[in-house]
Amino acid sequence: MSKLICHQEKVNELIAEELIKVCPFQAIENKDGKIEINSGCKMCKLCVKNGPAGVMEFVEEQTATVDKSLWKGIGVYVDHVDGEIHPVTMELIGKAKELAAVVDFPVYCVFIGHDIRQKAEELLYYGVDEVFVYDYEELKDFRIEPYTAAFEDFVNKVKPSSLLVGATTIGRSLAPRVAARFRTGLTADCTKLEMKEDTDLVQIRPAFGGNIMAQIICPNTRPQMATVRYKVMNALE
Ligand code: SF4
C-alpha cells in the first residue's frame, strides 16, 4: 500500500494554486487553506515530481507478504450446468498448462456439483494432474454460498498459487466471493496471462477505456485470481 502526504505547513495561497494546476485529474482541492486530495487521485505522483518542492510526498508502506513457496499449482474452476462442462474450462486448462510449464507447477481442476464423477475423469484427458471433486446432492444446482464454501475448502487444502475462472455468469459471481475470503486480488476479463519465474501471474487486460493494456500482478497475496471470457484463450487439441 502507498499514500500521498501533503506537508500542510509548507502550503500558502500561491503554493496551493501551483499544486492544483499540476494535477491532471483535478484531484487536489484547496479547502479553506488546507490541501485535500479527492477520490480522483490516480497516484500518478506528478504533484510530487513537478509540484512545489517538498510539499507532496509519496510514501510506500510495508505490507505483509505471503510465503510463496507454500502455494503451488494452478487451479481451474470447472464451469458447468448439470455436469455439462462449459468449453471455457477447456480453454483455461490449456492456458493453465502453458503457465504451469514455466514454473514446473501441477494443474488442478476443482469440480463442484452432483453426479459429476464420470465427467471429472474426462478432464484428465486434457492433461490435468488432479481433479478435486465436491460431489454432493446439495451442490446439484449452483448456489453461491455452498459453492463458495467448497471452493474455499479446495484452496485451503491444496493451496494453489493461481486460480483461473471462466467469466461466465457463474464464474463472475463465484470468483469475487472466493477472492474476498482470502483477501486476495482478482482481475476480471483478462485477455492475456503470463507467468513470471517467481510465480507471480501477470494478468493483462485493457484499462482506461481500452487505451492501455494494464499488466496487473498480485505479489503479496495468494492465491492470485483471474477471470477470462469464453473464446479468449485457445483450448488444447
Ligand atoms: S498523485 Fe497524480 S492524481 Fe494524485 S494528486 Fe498527485 S498529481 Fe493528482
pLDDT in tens, 84-113: 999 999 999 999 999 999 999 999 999 999
Cell 492501455 found at: 212
Q: Does 53 have pLDDT greater than 90?
A: yes
Who lines ligand 1 at CB under 6 A?
Answer: 4, 23, 25, 27-28, 37, 41-47
- The pLDDT assigned to 231 comes to 96
CA of 22 to the centre of ligand 1 (A): 8
Domains and CATH numbers, the chain: 2-60 (3.30.70.20), 68-228 (3.40.50.620)
Inter-helix orientation angle 144-158/169-181, to 10°: 50
pLDDT in tens, 16-42: 999 999 999 999 999 988 999 999 999
Q: Does 64 have pLDDT greater than 90?
A: no
C-alpha cell at 181: 475470503
Model confidence at 2, pLDDT cuts 50, 70, 90, reads confident
CA of 218 to the centre of ligand 1 (A): 23
Inter-residue contact 204 to 213 (CB < 8 Å): yes
Continuous H helices in the chain = 13-22, 46-50, 88-103, 117-124, 144-158, 169-181
For residue 107, give every residue at least 6 positions away whose Cβ sits within 8 Å of its Cβ, in sequence order, or none: 73, 74, 75, 76, 93, 96, 97, 100, 127, 128, 129
CA of 35 to the centre of ligand 1 (A): 12
CA distance 74 to 104: 10
- C-beta neighbour count of 94 within 10 angstroms: 19
Phi-psi label, residue 61: left if phi above 0, alpha if psi -120 to 50, beta otherwise:
beta
Strands 224-228 vs 212-216: parallel, antiparallel or unpaired:
unpaired
Cell 505490507 found at: 63
